[in-house]
Amino acid sequence: MNRLSYLIEKERQVGLSKKEYDEVCEIFANTCDKDIKTKCIIIIRKEASPAREQIVSRELSINNPILQSEVLRFLVRDLDLGNKYQDHVIKLLNLEDDQYALYTLQLAALSVSGDAYRSSKNLHILELILKFLEHDRKSLKNAAHDALVSALTSNYRELSPKLRYEKLTNSDIDLYKEKALNIIHGGKN
């Protein structure tokens, strides 16, 4: 069993020490293998340490949708740095090409766009979320629905997973659309 496999299993069973998280970060930083990087970022996300931002943010330029998705979730959702990374989220939401990889990147960006809006109050993010509510692809439309509810629920981060799920499944999306349009046109947050 290689060292990373050992650390993954140990993290799953009892958790890791700071030194072991440091080791995972070192593996993450020193490998070019995208699968290994993805395994590492999943562990790094569990630690959710702001000290890991710099090393993880270097991977924003990687063209691997799965890794990009985890990196965005770490930076925007786990560390609540949507304000800092809002331009990257907007860039991914504005992708036009219909290749699978780009679609996956849009889905990744949509998954954190509500978090990015809440911390940045960038109206362009809200406009893009609304645009995706009308998308042909059901998965993008569903992600936009969740992003809109997340964006306009001020205490969303504090809700338990159960309450988040209930909020997402029981919300009247037309009311959220109306609220978003009022914010965009009236400038009210």
The residue behind tokens 């702001």 is 50
pLDDT > 70 fraction of the chain, expressed in percent and rounded: 95
Model confidence band, residue 187 (pLDDT cutoffs 50, 70, 90) = low
pLDDT for position 171:
83
Residue 89: pLDDT band (50, 70, 90) is very high
Q: Is the pLDDT of residue 98 over 70?
A: no
| Region class of 121: left (phi > 0), else alpha (psi between -120 and 50), else beta | left
Q: Going from the N-terminus, what domains does the chain have, and what CATH number goes with each? A: 84-186 (1.25.10)
Cβ-proximal residues to 91 (8 Å cutoff; 6+ apart), any chain:
none
User: Span 146-161, mean pLDDT?
Assistant: 91
Q: What is the average pLDDT score of the chain? A: 91
- Across 14-36, b (16+ Cβ under 10 Å) vs e yields eebeeebbebbbebbeeeeeeee
Examine the pLDDT at 39 and tell me if it is beyond 90: yes
Is residue 142 predicted with pLDDT exceeding 80? yes
Q: DSSP of 62-102, one letter per residue?
A: ---HHHHHHHHIIIIIIS--HHHHHHHHHHHHT-----HHH
